[in-house]
Structure 1
Amino acid sequence: MSKLMRRAKLSRYQGVWCLMLPGLLLLPMAAGWAAPGVPALAVTADGNGEQTYTVTLQILGLMTVLTLLPAAVMVMTSFTRIIVVFSILRQALGLAQTPSSQILIGLALFLTFFIMSPVLDKAYQEGVKPYFQEEISVTDALARVREPFHHFMIAQTRETDLKLFAEISGREAFESPEQVPFSLLVPAFITSELKTAFQIGFLLFIPFLIIDLVVASVLMAMGMMMLSPMLVSLPFKLLLFVLIDGWSLLMGTLASSFYVAS
């Protein structure tokens, strides 16, 4: 029994050494890997007084920007006005789920890219492209990317909304539109976009509302009070929308409203 126990202990020790041997052999390589290289988090200053960031910090900033990209698309582009108008149009037609919300969002996104293409192209040519070519620093690239969006949002924002948020924040009037910070411009821009979207929606609603009133009056005069006026007026509203080529007219009007204002 004692011999068997000794053999078992020896085999156990041999198994442990077999597991530890690869780790011992990899220790010199691990020491080489742990040698000091490029620091992960570092900020250095050049001769011009500007600061440069390590690749790790730049990647971290890029990932942070990507997480905020959906919110930026909603509050800094034409997406808000377009999707609100589409939603009001669907309500005016009396269609609860047609077109579906996914279709409306996709259409609004691609129309937003079409409208914002001059802004995006200018931001890429003046900010992103020189940064990738290592001609400017990160701070200069951000400032150049910010400028086209700032100009676009200022062109769509009402002065009354800017004054409202300036008074709320306790700031005085700005001498030029370029001095308006993004913290004040974004809420003023969203407020103006919602106002404009509701104005367009009101104009869209009127002809369909007239059709509903006419159909309801005719049904009431004929004594068909049990028949829903919405059910009868829906084909007429669809026919009117198709005859005037409503989708092309609506999207063309939305796109031109941004181009004319900017």
Structure 2
Amino acid sequence: MKRNLLILVFFGMILFIPVQVFSQSSFPEGTTAGRTNADPNRQAGRIPFIDFSIREPSTNKDVAFSVQLLIFITLISIAPSLLLLMTSFLRLSIVLDFVKRALSLQQVPPTQVLNGIAFFLTLFIMQPTFIQIYNNAYKPMSEGQIGIEEAYREAEKPMRYFMYKQMQKNPTHIRTFMAMSKLPKPDTLADVPTHILIAAFILHELTIAFQIGIFLYLPFIIIDMIVASILMSMGMIMLPPVQISMPFKLILFVMVDGWGLLFGKLFESFL
């Protein structure tokens, strides 16, 4: 009985609310425009008026501003890709993923956690470069001392130097891409175009990351082979070797301070 009464009250409120709303407004007969008790100026002040319209530019300055805005939005959209390709993030993320697979870990740590670790390690490694970009490009531009084009050139210099420094001892990839572009052999960093430097840096980082991955896999593969041989000799064919070898891998990794050695060697590889 009480339940039925509550249902009737609920539906009565639903039917009563529209009646109250329309009773507070007066609409002339035959029209849809009316007057409500709410203050129209007050309602207009709450929501700002935003106009998105396409119209013909009046001056060349309007065209230049539209192009600059389009380029700026494009750069913001591809900024994560630039972070991956022009910094130490690429090498760090690949090596951390190799560690996870070498230890036969499926879900721990999650991929988002590994990417977060690689991101903060990238900030630590790239801190001197980012400080130079802030002091030489962003700060003068924000103070109005230089324009956007000059700020871009000043920000490009530390990034170019960082990428070139990683390949300075082995500039094979730079020579490869210079030959593919049919450009003469460079003598200094200034002779290497930025797009070729970025492409060579990506290939170099992939090569170094896979070389580190090979050395990471070797000791754990030996453990897998030993465990698999023991299980075969005992006749335990149906028992997965990975399930038995994973605890031994974790014990070895913890005993040798694997994370400390790994991060230390990764930092040294960027110096």
TM-score (norm 2): 0.74
1:176 and 2:195 aligned: no
Equivalence for 1:185: 197
1:216-227 matches, cutoff 5 A: 216-227=228-239
Distance 2:86 2:262 in 1: 21
Question: Is the helix fraction higher in 1 or 2?
Answer: 1
| Cα 1:41–1:116 shift into 2, 3 Å | farther
User: 2:61 maps to which residue?
Assistant: 42
Partner of 2:242: 230
CA positional deviation for 1:87? 1.2
User: Is 1:118 aligned to 2:137, yes or no?
Assistant: no
Q: In structure 2, what is the Cα distance between the partners aligned to 1:170 and 1:100?
A: 44
Q: 2:119 aligns with which of 87, 96, 109?
A: 109
Match of 2:86 in 1: 76
Look up the match of 1:206.
Answer: 218
Deviations 1:149-206 (A, max 9, x none): 0000111134111111111111111121122111111111010000000111111111
In the alignment, residue 113 of structure 2 is paired with which amino acid?
A: I
Give % identity.
39
Q: CA deviation at 1:59?
A: 4.7
| Structure 2: runs of 5+ lacking an equivalent | 1-27, 41-57
Q: Which amino acid aligns with 1:151?
A: Y
Please list the CA deviations of residues 92-130 of structure 1 after superposition, one character each: whole Å capped at 9, or x if unmatched.
111122211111111111111111111111001001100
In structure 2, the CA distance between the partners of 1:108 and 1:41, relative to structure 1 (3 Å rule), is farther
Alignment partner of 2:102 out of 81, 84, 92: 92
Following TM superposition, by how much is the alpha carbon of 1:61 offset from its aligned partner in structure 2, in angstroms?
3.8
Q: Taking structure 1 as reference, are residues 136 and 214 closer, same or farther at Cα in structure 2, changes over 3 Å only?
A: same
Query: Given the alignment, which residue of 41, 66, 70 partners 2:76?
Result: 66
Contact 1:76 1:186 in 2 (8 A): yes
Distance change in 2, residues 1:80/1:40 (3 Å): farther
For 1:40 and 1:151, locate their aligned partners in 2 and report how far apart those are by CA, in whole Å. Answer: 40
Structure 1 contact 40–57 (Cα < 8 Å) conserved: no
**Count, aligned residues:** 221
C-alpha separation between the residues in 1 aligned to 2:251 and 2:60? Answer: 63
Q: Kindly report structure 1 stretches of 4+ aligned residues shifted beyond 4 Å.
A: 56-60
Describe the SS at the equivalent of 2:81.
helix
Q: Which range moves more in the overlay, 152-161 or 216-225?
A: 216-225
Q: 1:220 to 1:128 in 2, by over 3 A?
A: same
Partner of 2:15: none
SS in 2 for 1:42: helix
Instruction: Give the partner amino acid of 1:138.
Output: I
Amino acid at match of 1:42: K
Instruction: Give the equivalent residue in structure 1 for 2:262.
Output: 250
CA offset digits 1:72-104 (Å, max 9, x no partner) = 011100111011111111111111222111111
Q: What secondary structure does 2:121 align onto?
A: helix
**Structure 1: 5+ residue stretches without partners:** 1-9, 23-38, 44-52
**Matching residue of 1:160:** 172
Is the 8 Å Cα contact of residues 86 and 104 (structure 1) preserved in structure 2? yes
Instruction: Give the 3-state SS of the residue equivalent to 1:224 in structure 2.
Output: coil
Q: Distance between the aligned counterparts of 1:131 and 1:101, measured in 2? A: 37
Structure 1-normalised TM-score? 0.77
Distance in 2 between residues matched to 1:204 and 1:41, nearest whole Å? 58
> How big is the shift at 1:40?
8.2
